[in-house]
Structure 1
Amino acid sequence: MRAIEKAVAECESVLRADLTYNKEHGIWPSTNRVIERMLGMRHDLGKAYQELYKQLHSHERALDSFLDMLVYLPIGWSPEKAIKARQDREELVSVNSRIASLATQLGGLLSRRTEIEETSGFSSETHYHILNVMKDAAEHNHHFGFYVEDELDGLYNQYDLKYWPTLSDFAEALAADARDAIVVADNPVTAAATESRKPGLTDFLRAYYSKLDERSMKQGGLIPDTFRLSDSALASLLSCVLDLGPEKLMSAEAVKRFRQGERSRKAG
């Protein structure tokens, strides 16, 4: 068997095993479509498979790890998902800003209500102790009732009001927390895929390289740290898994420009 035929056979064997498992368990339909697309493009991906097999076959389960990463990556980081992630980030910033504004207003209103009730001769029979608010808020939380409420009642009876934050203090703390919040990505792949100011295929390339680093041996994964695909092989694989049409195919030149740009950016 020629080298390229053996490489294709080995890569497709891994893909088919994954596809069979998913279908038998009724899971990951979107990933299954990616695998089926790869299986249908064996002639276009032959050289890429050859590079994969040459570099990974001697490392136990490294080929499985790479192909698993590749077929699942579009589920989280297609260009559309990267756009959605940016929108989520912007909305989180906006929501925190609104919380800060509204909590500040609430703190002022609570403080004013206390002032009126203490000076006017009128009261509204509303909460004045933070623990009363907590108990009402936890009305339907049975864990609170079983394990926490009695201990808090003991503290409530042991320490008078001067030892507790006021309701307005509580609201102002919420305002400060939201106002000072800095929105950050929860993981390196999310950070990489949303790093640039404008969305595009570079998002997916960043996600790919971040995920590859995550699965490298230096990070405790199975893929050797020396693993590198050629620009043309990577362009072929990513164009396939993203199902890019003929007019949008990722080119080897585009991958090369991206890598050069990343080196320059990091050096700068």
Structure 2
Amino acid sequence: MQAFLGLILSTAAFWSPEKIANARAARDKLAEVNHQIARKAAELASLLQQRSDLHNSSGFSSNTHYHVCDVIESAAKGNYLFESHVHKPFQDLHTQFDLKYWPTLSDFLQELAFDAEAADPEARDPLTAASTAASRPSLYDFFKALLVAIEESRAHNYGQLPNEFKITDNALASFANCSLDLEPDDMVDSLYVKRLRQHIRDGAEKPKRV
């Protein structure tokens, strides 16, 4: 019982409707940041290539970095671990192979652009995944996180709840009403939880599209 009550309180604290809304906003922000990185890295890759072409054709140079290893070594200045353990073998590798063996600065930035463009934000834990899966937010999100938390806390997942542990719809509704401190008009009942569980079961039975 102590383990279950702790699970209820922690889920209400970290996956309340407000926290889930923040998680959704953070996911959207992450997607937007990756989009901007992809666009700006591609622009910078193009500019670096233009600068390299001008260095080779204009008769002028700007005394800037042109080798990716020079950039790494310069960026790592002040990093004690790099200086102590990596710098010497890295410098030996740098001098062993000339420029044609390494990616250009433009190639380096273009890869960052490709990587960011292909990025797809993913939840790092099952509760966040369950609570943010729906396209539209609702109180269902909290219950989905709570049900996943219960499953994750069973003995077969090395948790403290017995594998045969069950909780009635009415009890689950009461615990949610109290832990979320819902207003009287917002409180849920056993029928709400029953519909939610049926919804989850129906969703799990739908075949995945290939």
Report TM bin, short chain.
over 0.9
Residue of structure 2 aligned with 1:196, choices 126, 130, 134: 134
Alignment pair present for 1:222 and 2:160: yes
Counterparts of 1:243 and 1:141 in 2: how far apart (Å)? 49
Residue of structure 2 aligned with 1:161, choices 99, 104, 108: 99
Residue of structure 2 aligned with 1:82, choices 13, 20, 34: 20
Alignment of 1:117-266 (within 5 A): 117-266=55-204
Shift of 1:226: 2.0
The structure 1 segments of at least 4 consecutive aligned residues displaced by more than 4 Å after TM superposition are none
Counterparts of 2:195 and 2:62 in 1: how far apart (Å)? 68
TM-score (norm. length: structure 1): 0.75
Unaligned regions of 5+ residues in structure 1, if any? Answer: 1-62
Bigger Rg, structure 1 or 2: 1
Counterparts of 2:203 and 2:148 in 1: how far apart (Å)? 16
Shift of 1:256: 1.0
Counterparts of 2:35 and 2:156 in 1: how far apart (Å)? 40
Shift of 1:221: 1.5
Shift of 1:91: 0.7
Counterparts of 1:222 and 1:120 in 2: how far apart (Å)? 71
Residue of structure 2 aligned with 1:108, choices 46, 60, 72: 46
Residue 56 of structure 1 aligns with which residue?
none
Unaligned regions of 5+ residues in structure 2, if any? Answer: none
Alignment of 1:45-60 (within 5 A): none
Residue 29 of structure 1 aligns with which residue?
none
Counterparts of 1:264 and 1:158 in 2: how far apart (Å)? 61
| RMSD value, Cα | 1.0
Identify which range, 256-265 or 115-124, moves more after superposition: 256-265
Alignment of 1:28-47 (within 5 A): none
Q: Residue type of the partner of 2:80?
A: H
TM-score (norm. length: structure 2): 0.95
Q: How many residues align?
A: 206
User: What secondary structure sits across from 1:172 in the alignment?
Assistant: helix
Percent identity between the aligned chains? Answer: 41
Counterparts of 2:77 and 2:51 in 1: how far apart (Å)? 25
